[in-house]
Amino acid sequence: MLANNVANASTGGYKADREFYSLYTSPEADCQPIPTMPLIEKPWIDLSQGTLHDTGSPFDLALSGKGFFAVDGPKGALYTRNGNFSLAKDGRVVTAEGYPLRAEKGVELKIESTRPFEIATDGTVHQDGNVIGQLELVDFGTAAGLAKQGNNYFRVADPAGRVALPANTTVGQGRIEISNTGTAEAAVRLISVLRQFEMMQKAVALGAEMNRHAVEEVARVGS
């Protein structure tokens, strides 16, 4: 999990994976107070805001606040915070994988490549002074019903979990939200985990060596 966070530190809109902890008590523990140790129970997705970076490209979009861009995936709607879009030959705004950006009310969003366009903070798309569509922006309240799909997309297990987009969420054109992974923090934690693994490995090796010596001593006394 930490290695994946480090690998995606420069991925636009990437949301870091974190972990839930519970306390583990050994069944053999019979002393007071009972010794416990932290145990990783399950991962969770950190949806906190990433830093916005100016790019100047009109096809780069960033959300400030909660919510996701909606795109048409191969098997239905997918959701992403990665606003690194481009213009396809047919005029549709698409992701790096070619998934078209969805507009509200099922309107197909097409942009004329030879003329400038603007996207307002509420997601309304203007070209030649006319409104040609409005981006479909959605929120799901919590990450509980979201699952990572790969390539920085999310799929929704329960569409009923969709909620209204917060009023303070805005779209920024010519900007990209960078990963919310703390590169230095993830690298330090990764090194710490590796060192703990090495310590446990040495402890296991030491235990095996002690057992070997014990067996040899018992055999020597018996002889």
- Domain limits of the chain? 2-24+38-46+181-222, 52-177
pLDDT exceeds cutoff 80 at 28: no
pLDDT (tens digit per residue) in 49-94 = 999 999 999 999 999 999 999 999 998 899 999 999 999 999 999 9
Q: Supply the pLDDT for residue 71.
A: 95
Alpha carbon separation from 39 to 36, 43, 110 (Å, rounded): 9, 12, 50
Q: Are 180 and 13 in contact (CB under 8 A)?
A: no
Written as one letter, the residue type at 25 is T
pLDDT (tens digit per residue) in 132-169 = 999 999 998 777 788 898 889 999 877 777 777 888 99
- Measured on CA atoms in the order 17, 20, 21, 24, is the torsion positive or negative? negative
Distance CA 39, CA 45 (A): 18
Q: Supply the pLDDT for residue 190.
A: 81
Q: Supply the pLDDT for residue 94.
A: 96
DSSP 50: P
Averaged pLDDT of the chain? 86
Q: How confident is the model at residue 44 (pLDDT cuts 50, 70, 90)?
A: confident
Residue of 144 and 176 predicted with greater confidence? 176
Q: Supply the pLDDT for residue 181.
A: 87
